């Protein structure tokens, strides 16, 4: 695969209703580590960052969003969904399901799950894929 500019994934940013709740969810459910948090623009914008080796997710909370925000409804601009790969998607699927995390597959769950979706506390969709699928591009 050609990467003439030498780009590497660094982080993604999502607008959320509650940065503390969102960052806590990613630390508790996905095991990411809290990196920092704070405020800008005289307190009109709050932010928090969580990370894992080589990648981070930043959350931004605006005091006065331009559009109506309702729980479970994605905001604009917002991500489509981040995708993470793991060695054993099936094992993680079952582990999260046992913990009560909302997880789903495309159609009925197969005997061995190779990819699945889950939803964070804000309703944002996250995809988990088996590392085998990740190498297929």
Same domain, 70 and 100: no
Which of 79, 96, 122 marks a domain boundary? 79
What does the DSSP 8-state code read for residue 45?
E
Same domain, 129 and 70: no
Residues of the chain with pLDDT under 70: 5, 64-80, 133-137
Distance CA 114, CA 121 (A): 23
The answer to whether the beta carbons of residues 97 and 51 sit under 8 Å apart is: no
Q: What is the predicted pLDDT for the residue at 72?
A: 58
pTM over 0.85: no
As for how many domains the chain has, the answer is 2
Q: What is the predicted pLDDT for the residue at 137?
A: 46
Q: What is the predicted pLDDT for the residue at 79?
A: 60
Write out the H or E segment, with its range, that includes residue 11.
Answer: strand 11-15
**Closest among 62, 20, 19 to 43, alpha carbons compared:** 62
Domain that holds residue 26: 1-79
Same domain, 58 and 69: yes
């Amino acid at each position: 695969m050609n990467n003439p500019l030498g780009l590497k994934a660094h982080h993604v940013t999502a607008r959320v209703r509650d940065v503390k709740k969102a960052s806590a969810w990613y630390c508790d459910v996905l095991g990411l580590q809290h990196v920092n948090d704070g405020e800008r623009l005289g307190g009109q914008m709050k932010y928090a960052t969580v990370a894992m080796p080589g990648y981070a997710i930043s959350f931004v909370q605006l005091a006065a969003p331009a559009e109506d925000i309702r729980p479970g409804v994605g905001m604009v601009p917002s991500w489509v969904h981040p995708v993470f790969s793991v060695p054993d998607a099936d094992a993680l699927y079952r582990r999260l399901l046992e913990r009560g995390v909302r997880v789903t597959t495309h159609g009925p769950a197969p005997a061995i799950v190779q990819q699945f979706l889950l939803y964070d506390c804000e309703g944002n969709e996250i995809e988990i894929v088996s590392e085998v699928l990740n190498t297929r591009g």
